[in-house]
Amino acid sequence: MLRATFLGHQGWLLRGGGSALLVDPLLTSSFGHGGLVGELYPPRALDLAGFPAIDAVVISHEHDDHFDVPSLLRLDRRIPIYFPARGSIAGRGLLRGLGFEVRPLAPAAEHSIGGLRLRTFVADHRGAELGDEWEVAPFVVRDIDGHGSFASSVDVPPPPAMLAALGDLAPRPGIWCYANNFSSAAHQRLGATSAAPASDAVSLASAFLRRYAAVERLWGAPAVAAIVGAGWSFADARAWLNHAVFPLENDVLADSLAAVAPRTRAVAARPGATITLARGEHVGIEGSQPFLAALPRERWPDRGYREGIAPAPDYAPATGRGDVDTAGEGALREGLAALAGWLYGGPLFRALYSLDPGDCGGRRPTVALRLRADREGGARTLAYDPAACAFVPVEAAAAHEEFIAGIECWARDLAGLFAGELGPTALCYAGRLRVWNHAPARVPFAPHLLWMFAHPLRRPEAMARLYRRLVAAAGEVAPVIRFAG
Residue extents of the structural domains in the chain: 2-309, 326-454
Q: pLDDT at position 84, please?
A: 98
- Distance (Å, whole) CA 121 – CA 100: 25
For residue 70, whether the previous peptide bond is cis, meaning omega lies within 30 degrees of 0, is: no
- Distance (Å, whole) CA 189 – CA 239: 17
Beta strands of 161-203 (E only): which ranges?
Answer: 175-179
Q: Does domain 326-454 have CATH number 3.30.1050?
A: yes
Cβ neighbours of residue 447 closer than 8 Å, sequence gap 6 or more: 185, 188, 407, 427, 428, 429, 433, 435
Q: What is the 3-state secondary structure (H, E, C) of 201-245?
A: HHHHHHHHHHHHHHHHHHHCCCCEEEEECCCEECCHHHHHHHHCC
Provide the sign of the torsion angle of the four alpha carbons 268, 136, 134, 455, taken in this order: positive
326-454 has the same fold as 2-309: no
Q: What is the pLDDT along the chain (485 residues), one digit of tens a residue?
A: 999 999 999 999 999 999 999 999 999 999 999 999 999 999 999 999 999 999 999 999 999 999 999 999 999 999 999 999 999 999 999 999 999 999 999 999 999 999 999 999 999 888 656 578 899 999 999 999 999 999 999 999 999 999 999 999 999 999 999 999 988 888 888 864 334 444 566 777 888 899 999 999 999 999 999 999 999 999 999 999 999 999 889 999 999 898 888 888 999 999 999 999 999 999 999 999 999 999 999 999 999 888 777 777 789 999 998 889 999 999 999 999 999 999 999 999 999 999 999 999 999 999 999 999 988 889 999 999 999 999 999 999 999 999 999 999 999 999 999 999 999 999 999 999 999 999 999 999 999 999 999 999 999 999 999 999 999 999 999 999 999 98
2-309 CATH pick, 3.30.70.270, 2.130.10.10, 3.60.15.10, 3.50.50.60: 3.60.15.10
